[in-house]
Each structure stands twice: as C-alpha cells, then as structure tokens.
Amino acid sequence: MARYIFITGGVVSSLGKGLASAALGALLQARGYTVRLRKLDPYLNVDPGTMSPFEHGEVFVTDDGAETDLDLGHYERFTGVHARQTDSISSGRIYSNVLEKERRGDYLGKTIQVIPHVTNEIKDFLHIGDDEVDFMLCEIGGTVGDIEGLPFFEAIRQFIHERPRGQSILMHLTLLPYLAASGELKTKPTQHSVKELQSIGLAPDVLVCRSEHPIPDREREKIALFCNVRKEAVIPAYDLKTIYQAPLAYHAAGLDQAVLDAFGITPAPKPNLARWEDVMDRLNHPEGEVRIAIVGKYTQLEDAYKSIAEALTHGGMANRTKVRAEWIDAEIFEREDPAPYLENFHAILVPGGFGERGTEGKIKAARYAREKKIPYLGICLGMQMAVIEAARNLVGLKNAGSEEFDHEAGEKRFTPVVYHLKEWVQGNHTVRRKADDAKGGTMRLGAYTANLKEGSKVAQVYGTTVIEERHRHRYEVDIRYRDQLEKCGLSFSGMSPDGRLPEIVEVQDHPWFIGVQFHPELKSKPFAPHPLFADFVRAAVEVSRLV
C-alpha cells in the first residue's frame, strides 16, 4: 500500500507546488523509493486540451493520449516516471463521470450530492495504482479556500481519515511576503492559510515557505508554534537560478527528511544525489554558448512552450553548452524581412500551434533556415510549415497551404498539402474523425510508432530505425505530394508503420534540417536529453564555431 503525500498551496497561486512536488519525488527516488505523481485540478474543463496556451500554458500529452496540465511535464522530467491518464483529473472530469453514472442509473434513484457522490469519485481516482509504488504524491491545483477546490479538500480529509494512521501526510506551500517599509518577513498570511486548512479538517505535517529573503530561526519557530508543526518541518524555499537546482536545494533545506520523519520512517535510507549533482555540474560549467531562435505564436507566455525550453536546456547539457533561447513572434515576419532578426542565431526552431495566425511568418523562417543552411527543427505545425514552404518554393505549388486554414476561414484558398486527418490506425483498430467533431480529445493523441529510413539523418540521430513518440495534432502532411517533394530534396525519412502518415521530413542537401510531426520535447529529461534536441544543439555548436 502506497504512502500518500498531498501537496496544497495557500496565500497566492504560482508558488511552485508542481516544482516542489517533482523535486520531492526525485529526492524520494534518490533514497531508493518508487514514486508516482498526480495532479488534481479544480477547474471545470474536462482537461486543458481545449484551453488557449495563453490561458493555461502548454498541454502536456502522455503516452496513453491524455491531455494534461504542464505540471505533469515537471513530474516526468524530474522522476523519469511516464505519466498516465490516471495521473491527471479535473473537477470537470469528476462531475462528468458522476453525471454519466446518474444517467445510467448507477445510483439507484438516490439524490446526487457533492458528499458522498462527488467526493467518492475523487477518492476512487486517488486509489488507482496505490499498490504499485512506495509513495503517491498528489498535488491539488489552486489555493486553499478556492470554492471550486472544496470537494477535493473534503475528499482528501475523508481519504486520510479512512486509511491506516500514518499512511498519509499533508504538505502545504505558502508565501512569506517581505515588507520593505518595516524591513521584515510577515508570517501572518501563512498562519491564516493554515487556519483555513484547519477549518476544513486538514492540518499540514510539513510547511514549505516561499521567500525572497532568508527566513530567520525565530520566524521558523513562530510559524511552527502558530501552525502546529515541528520547527524542522518548516522548510524554507528560496528563488533558484534554475529549476534543476530544486532537488539539491530542497534536500539541503531538509524537505525529504521532514517528509520521512512525518511518516515515522527511521532510520531513512541515505540519498544518492549523484544524478542531480551531474545535472548541476553540466549547467554550471558550460564550455560554450549558442543562440537559438524560437519562432512561435504564443511568445508572450513562455509557459506555452515550457517543454521545448526545457528540452533545449537538456540538449545544451548533453553538449556542455549554454543554450540561450530567444522568442520571436512569427507575426513580425509577415510584415518584415526575417533576415535582420535571424542572422545572428546559430539555429532556428519552429514549434507547434493551432490556427492560421503567424503561419506565414513561420514559413518565412523555414525558408530562411533552408536557404542559409542554418540548423532547423520544426515540430508539429513547424514541420507542416516547412513542407508548405518546400511545396511553394521548390515544387512550384504557389498556393500550397493547409486545410486547417481554409476550415478556419470558411473558404477554400489553398492547395492542401496538409489535410484534416480523418482516419488512422491506433493499436489494432482504426480511428475515424470528421472536421466538425467536438474539439476535446479528438486529435491523434499519445504515443505512436514510426519507422525511419535506413541511412537517413534521423536514423543516425536516434541510432535506430524504429521509434515511438507522442503526438497531438489533427492535420497531417498529404502523402500524395511525396514524390514531388522528394525530387526537390525534401526526404520523407520517417513514416507510420502502415506507410500512410509522414512522421519526419529532412532536407538532404543541408547540414541539419528536420521536421517532425510529433512532440519530442515531451520525452526529454535533464539526465536523459532527447536525441533530437541533443543533436540539434550539437549542430548549432558547429555553426557557432564557424562564425
């Protein structure tokens, strides 16, 4: 039976619950334990798949096709444990399940209420897989006191009460604001946050206090006294230069020891932190620097491309190189020549996205990279834009474009070299979709196999000819244009096993120009950089040495 750690937040949002959860998971692994991390989100969307990146950051996709919160990306990057559909739940999903059961008659005519029906549904979710690992870490989104989060907090209260004593603990993150006028840290917001928790029947065992200033011993003692926790369980959390410093910083602050003490695990196994010491050594002692332009459409919010930014950092670690990623709004290139913006970069990355806005700028970026022989990595929409660019400027299809843009505009304007994917093979069955299907969960989602061409650049990068990568798209490059494009030097070097869906394209007469239909950034980790990102950064390093 797994031990449960519930991670909650108070005072304000965005304190770093996800990062603290991921770092704690990594520290428990370092002590020899197995872990799984989960996210419980109070919003009423069934999942974040239909949310704008400006609203919620990137959507992290799991192998089994769940569209989840970006915190699951942190969990995977820090622990290496692949997330599953059962590791992410929202209020919307919970209520949807309850209402489906009510319509089927599962409740035998009873009045459906938040307690016990909604809370039971949450508890059933929490129990999934609790015999598989030593520790289950469950992060609750939002802050204590949020009205939409109350069913989750009540379910946790019941869950802790129903399990054997000592099998569950609560870790609460709060903020210690600093008042410059009086020159002191204020503990009152933390006290009020804990009081709010206590009012709903929950009491923290460990307090993690975010602060921009050192927390004196007397303040820790005061917090411990007023919040009814041991002083050793009041853990300071300061701002870090890099998120990958978090496991070592939290260990130095005593977080993992406080958690194990709360469970009564003594003596605890000693941690082996060699993995994280190596990660920090690679980050702190680079032997060079490269500048990589990310030409995207959600550049105002870097969380929209969180996994890409982290994967580039991992690629830098693999090459002991500092990657300076700079975000450029693709729409600028629809009005201006991209050359002055891109000429000082060593590589160009065009990420995924939805909709027509900014796509002509992405096409110009792909053309610039192809003609100037600058390393180019196109991901999902970034691959499709590279194919459209080649179709226009190499094949001569001047109106080449995507069906996605025609659907959005409600009129036919383009020769669709990228079309709406209506049918594909998933496992041993065929999936069928229509353009007017509901948006939620209707894309080609999750892990699919691809076969790579012998002798191709990507086969060399991966070191194999069979790969498995995660997808999230509903539009696909049309195989009917393959012969024309390949005659002009754009090789289809990766295909689905049935040979119908292009997975990878590469320009043959180019040092490094690769477009992939999937999202390799989702599987990259600091201690296991994704091969595409590692080689992309290597190619950028070569360019930097030539300049």
Residue 328's closest CA among 360, 292, 368, 290?
A: 292
Taking residues 92-119, report their average pLDDT. Answer: 92
- Looking at the structure, do residues 307 and 202 belong to the same domain, yes or no? no
C-alpha neighbours within 13 Å on the C-beta side of residue 143: 17
Give the residue ranges of the annotated binding site for ATP.
14-19, 71, 240
Tally the domains of the chain.
2
Question: What region, left, alpha or beta, does residue 355 occupy, with left being phi > 0 and alpha being psi -120 to 50 degrees?
Answer: left
Active-site hit among 117, 473, 510, 519: 519
pLDDT in tens, 431-485: 666 655 555 556 789 999 999 999 999 999 999 999 999 999 889 999 999 999 9
- Select the more confidently predicted residue: 304 or 164: 164
The mean per-residue pLDDT over the stretch 338-348 comes to 94
Name the catalytic one among 310, 360, 476, 521. 521
Dihedral angle at the C-alpha atoms of 530, 533, 538, 541, nearest 10 degrees? -140
**Tokens, residue 385:** 């834009």
Shared-domain flag, residues 267 and 303: no
CATH number of the domain bearing residue 210: 3.40.50.300
**Distance between start and end Cα atoms, the chain:** 58
- 311 and 195 assigned to the same domain: no
Q: Say yes or no: 270 and 298 in one domain.
A: no
Asked whether the predicted pLDDT for residue 128 surpasses 60, the reply is yes
Q: Which one of 138, 209, 227, 380 is the catalytic residue? A: 380
Please provide the average confidence, as pLDDT, over all residues in the chain: 92
Q: Are 298 and 244 members of one domain? A: no
Q: Which residues are annotated as a binding site?
A: 13-19, 71, 139, 146-148, 186-191, 222, 240, 353, 381-384, 404, 474
**Stretch 323-337: mean pLDDT:** 93
Q: Which amino acid is at 125?
A: F
The answer to whether 380 is a known catalytic residue is yes
C-alpha to C-alpha distance for 288 and 317, rounded to whole angstroms: 11
pTM (2 decimals)? Answer: 0.92
Note whether 202 and 302 are same-domain residues: no
- Contact, 467 vs 449, CB < 8 A? yes
Q: What is the mean pLDDT of residues 338-343?
A: 93
CB burial of 225-247 (b: ≥16 within 10 Å; e: otherwise) equals eebebeeebbbbbeeeeebbbbb
Residues 149 and 229 in one domain: yes
Annotation marks residue 519 as catalytic: yes
Q: Tell me the residue range of the domain where 70 lies.
A: 3-279
Annotated binding-site residues for Mg(2+) read 71, 139
- Give yes or no: residues 254 and 313 share one domain: no
DSSP state of 112: P
Mean pLDDT value across residues 214-224: 94
Q: Can you tell me which residue has the tokens 């105002």?
A: 300
| Amino acid type, 60 | F
Residues 94 and 159 in one domain: yes
At a CB cut-off of 8 Å and minimum separation 6, what does 445 contact?
61, 65, 66, 67, 471, 472
Beta-carbon contacts of residue 226 (< 8 Å; ≥ 6 apart): 187, 191, 194
Same domain, 161 and 128: yes
**The predicted structure's pLDDT at residue 342:** 94
**Tokens encoding 79:** 């622990």
pLDDT, one tens digit per residue, over 244-286 is: 999 999 999 999 999 999 999 989 999 999 999 999 999 999 9
Q: What is the pLDDT of residue 218?
A: 93
Which residue in 525, 515, 470, 471 sits closest to 348, CA to CA? 515
Domain stops at, among 233, 249, 279: 279
Catalytic: 314?
A: no
Supply 66's token pair.
């769940």
Q: Are 449 and 468 a contacting pair, CB within 8 Å?
A: yes
Please tell me whether residues 257 and 365 are part of one structural domain: no
Indicate the pLDDT class of residue 183, thresholds 50, 70 and 90: confident
Do 468 and 513 fall into the same domain?
Answer: yes
Domain CATH number, residue 410: 3.40.50.880
Question: What is the residue whose two structure tokens read 């070569």?
Answer: 542
Structural domain ending residue among the three candidates 232, 247, 279:
279
User: What is the rounded average pLDDT of the residues 218-238?
Assistant: 95
Domain boundary among 212, 245, 279: 279
